[in-house]
Amino acid sequence: MPGLYELANPVRFERIARPALPWLAGITFVLSALGLYYALFNSPADYQQGDSVRIMYVHVPAAWMALFCYTVVAGASAVGFIWKHPLADVAAKEAAPIGAGFTFLALVTGSLWGKPMWGAWWAWDARLTSVLILFFLYLGYISLWRAFSDKTRAARLAAILAIVGFVNIPVIKFSVDWWNSLHQPASVFRAGGPTIDASMLPALFLMAGAYMFFFATALIQSMRNELMARRCARMQAVDAQAASILVEN
């Protein structure tokens, strides 16, 4: 019999999540449409890169989200591990595949931009390599979750891995400053203000907002799915138990 505490939070979560979802999805749609319009039609071509600069509006927010999602995974893992909060465990578990998707998107779009600009699809420099490591970390985290049938144990062990893997995040962020790499240094979140012209920032921030709301929408929906699946599994277990008692009698 699951404790009341364990049930109370998912129920409260469902009560907030269900009405919030259409709004989140709507905002995601509006921001994506606006962001794409700005990125493709309403922003200038770069003085050096020409129209290829438009790849940046897909690539840079995806890279931000790759780091942000891992931070969410590690943060939720820490909360779940320390306070044994089941909802935090579910959040960590469900944020990881979304983060892996953003990481993959950042790698692919970066590659598409790199070929015409740098002259190579891929270079083994510090930034690219550390983002690739991040992608593998996501895969390891997801695999560890899937390997255990006991969800409570899986949550604790995956949380330990997520927290240990968090050391990679500052390495990614500062790799372009510490090492003499091929990838350019940060343009927006840097000491001394952005080095991107103001006319390019609206498209970038609209896309970043769209990604952020997409993340919230996808995370909440997949958390609902996971909670529902767990409830089904519990009810089936109770059913099976009842059936076996009936058979015995």
Partner 1 sequence: MSALSAIILRDLQLAFRAGGGSFQAVGFFSIVCVLFTLAVGPDIALITEIAGPVLWTGALLATLISLDQIYRADREDGSLDVIAATSEELALTAAAKAAAHWLSTGLPLILATPLLAILLNLTADAYFPLLMSLLIGTPGLSLIGSFAAALTVSLPRASLLISIIVSPLYIPILIFGAGAASAGAAGDPQFAANLKLLGAATLFAAVTAPLASAVALRSNLD
Partner 2 sequence: MRQDAGRRCAGSFNIGGKLTKKTRRIYLALGAFAFAAAAVGLTLSALKSSITYFYMPSEIAALASTPSKAIRLGGLVETGSIEYLSPKGGSENEALVSFSVTDGGNSIKVTYAGLLPDLFREGQGVIVQGSFVDGGSVLKADNVLAKHDENYMPKEVADALKEQGYWNETSKSD
Binding residues for partner 2, rule: CB under 8 A, are 44-50, 52-53, 56, 116-120, 123, 125-126, 178-182, 184-187, 190, 195-197, 199-200
176 near 184, Cβ under 8 Å? yes
Q: Which residues make up the interface to partner 1 (CB under 8 A)?
A: 129, 133-134, 136-137, 139-140, 143-144, 147-148, 153, 156-157, 160-161, 163-165, 167-168
Residue 195 touches which member of partner 2, partner 1, none, C-beta under 5-8 Å by kind: partner 2
> Can you give 208-222 as a three-state secondary structure string?
HHHHHHHHHHHHHHH
What DSSP state is assigned to residue 46? B
99 near 69, Cβ under 8 Å? yes
Give 153 or 190: the residue with its C-beta nearer to partner 1: 153
How many angstroms from the chain centroid is the CA of residue 41? 28
Cα 91 to Cα 71: distance, rounded to the nearest angstrom: 12
Q: How far is the CB of 17 from partner 1 (least distance, A)?
A: 29
Cα angle 101, 205, 191; round to 5: 100
Q: How far is the CB of 50 from partner 2 (least distance, A)?
A: 7
Give 126 or 172: the residue with its C-beta nearer to partner 2: 126
Cα 19 to Cα 220: distance, rounded to the nearest angstrom: 11
**Per-residue b or e along 5-24, where b marks 16 or more CB atoms closer than 10 Å to that residue's CB:** eeeeebeebeeebeeeeeeb
Q: How far is the CB of 144 from partner 1 (least distance, A)?
A: 6
Residue 148 touches which member of partner 1, partner 2, none, C-beta under 5-8 Å by kind: partner 1
Cα 208 to Cα 135: distance, rounded to the nearest angstrom: 20
Give 18 or 190: the residue with its C-beta nearer to partner 2: 190
Q: How far is the CB of 130 from partner 2 (least distance, A)?
A: 13
Give 137 or 200: the residue with its C-beta nearer to partner 1: 137
Give 39 or 172: the residue with its C-beta nearer to partner 1: 172
Residue 236 touches which member of partner 1, partner 2, none, C-beta under 5-8 Å by kind: none
